[in-house]
Amino acid sequence: MHNHHFFSFLKNRELDELYLSIAIRSFALSMISVFIPLYLLSLDYGLNKVFYFYIVMEVFWIISVFPAAKLASRFGFKHSILFSVPLLIVGYVLLFSLKAFPKSFFIIPALLGINFAMFWIGYHVDFAKFSKKGKRGKEVGASKILSSVFSSAGPIIGGLILSLIGFKSLFVIVSFLLLASTAPLFFSRDIHEPLTVSFKKLFKSHRIKDFLGFSAWGFEFGVEAIIWPVIIFLLITKNYVSLGVFKSITLFATMLVVFLVSKISDKHQKFLLRAGSVFLFAIWIARSFIKTTTGVIGTNAVYGLVKPSQSIPFEMISYDKANSEGIVLTIVFREVSIHLGRITLFIILALTENIILGFFMAMAGSLMYLFL
């Protein structure tokens, strides 16, 4: 008789639990993340102040990576994910209370940065450890399918909650979901990886092209996740529900194509990465001319269809490098590179006070994926 685990989508118990956890978390964050910069704008913080908010978050993300890795190495990488959740919830509580306590403005992104460093170090090390070469495309694809299924409705639901009952209720719902997302992780043992890494060794042991390839995610997806929704809201629609619908279109389109890409990515990862990068470059060119709702819907749908052909090989290459060059060292290098890219993005936007430059940064990031 075969012993089937309840969550056994790929007959890999550790990954199955990680899939379910990231799916619940993705749903929770998809309800709120797209609206955070707009919430800050609604409190009369200017665009520049919003950029500084994200700069602080990225700085704390980077400086927290080494302590997070050491903490995870000592207590376990699933515990690192668990420890990150209270920080995120406290950050959201302070965010909701920002109008009453404006001095917490820079404390909030610091907490969020520390939380994300702890979560993603734990997640990526766990995934790199338990995913298998030759099946990694399907395993990354399974994670993205579940995340997309759970999160595709999130922005619409978040937009409806915002419109009907406000940010307070949204923060409460998201907090409960974040707590629930940690439960599946502990159906199996935690893992500990030895940590022998220093900042000096980090950059000596990796090539500049790897740094450029990883930092591309900071440029391109930083614009997609934060700048593009702000542009849509300010220039095309000032409606939370409409913005949620636009974001859900992207996630739904991603869900449709992830399965196909994951089936072929184990054999064609380099081709898919190159093709996806070039198509993303073209999409960002098209988006720079968009002025209508129809244009937003069209380019969001195409972006959702194209993004997996870049993102799945990107994750596979990350995990392949981690297993051949040292799991913790490579994951830390990847995280530092991505967020140095994002800091560069927000500093340029803050100094120039020109949000439209985000399109050119996204175009550059799309082509920089080719360095991997």
Query: Which CATH number does the domain housing residue 114 bear?
Result: 1.20.1250.20
∠ at Cα 258 (77, 137), nearest 5°?
55
Strand, helix or coil for residue 280: helix
Residue 3 belongs to some domain of the structure: no
Query: Residue 262: which residues within 8 A CB-CB, separation 6 or more?
Result: 137, 138, 140, 141, 142, 144, 145, 308, 312
Backbone angles phi, psi at 9, to 5 degrees: -75, -35
Q: Is residue 295 part of a domain?
A: yes
Rounded to whole angstroms, the Cα distance separating 74 from 72 reads 5
Percent of the chain with pLDDT over 90: 58
Supply the pLDDT for residue 149.
Answer: 81
Residue whose pair of structure tokens reads 């060119």 in the numeric block? 285
Higher pLDDT, 193 or 115: 115
| Res 249: pLDDT | 92
Reading the block at residue 119, the tokens are 């979560």
- How much is the pLDDT for 322? 87
Rounded CA-CA distance 261/258 in Å is: 5
Contact yes or no for 81/123 (Cβ under 8 A): yes
Confirm whether 128 is domain-assigned. Answer: yes
| Banded pLDDT at 37 (limits 50, 70, 90) | very high
Contacts of residue 109, Cβ cutoff 8 Å, sequence gap at least 6:
53, 54, 56, 57, 60, 91
Closest by Cα among 116, 37, 57 to 347: 57
Give domain status of residue 284, yes or no: yes
**pLDDT class of 7 with cuts at 50, 70, 90:** very low
- Please answer whether residues 339 and 62 qualify as being in contact, where contact means their C-beta atoms are separated by less than 8 angstroms: yes
Total domains in the chain come to 1
Residue 209 has pLDDT above 50, yes or no: yes
In this predicted structure, the answer to whether residue 317 has a pLDDT above a threshold of 50 is: yes
How many C-beta neighbours within 10 Å does residue 85 have?
19
Q: Which bin fits 132, alpha (ψ -120 to 50), beta or left (φ > 0)? A: beta
Spatial CA neighbour of 337 closest among 172, 184, 163, 221: 221
Of 131 and 273, the one with more pLDDT: 273
The span from the CA of 192 to the CA of 197, in Å, is 15
Confidence class of residue 122 from pLDDT cuts 50, 70 and 90?
A: confident
Q: Does residue 233 lie within any of the structural domains?
A: yes
Does a structural domain hold residue 291? yes
Q: Kindly tell me the sign of the dihedral angle through the C-alpha atoms of 359, 363, 368, 372.
A: positive
The stretch 56-63 carries a mean pLDDT of 96
- What's the mean pLDDT in 67-80? 85
The gap from C-alpha 242 to its chain's centroid, in whole angstroms, comes to 22
pLDDT category, 3, cuts 50, 70, 90? very low
Would 91 be classed as within a structural domain? yes
Instruction: Answer yes or no: is 357 within a domain.
Output: yes
Reference 21, options 129, 113, 123; nearest CA is 123
From the list 65, 72, 109, 104, the residue with the least C-alpha distance to 87 is 109
Domain of residue 223 covers 13-182+200-371
State residue 77's pLDDT score: 82
124-143 burial, b at 16+ Cβ within 10 Å, e below that, comes to bbbbbbbbeeeebbbbbbbb
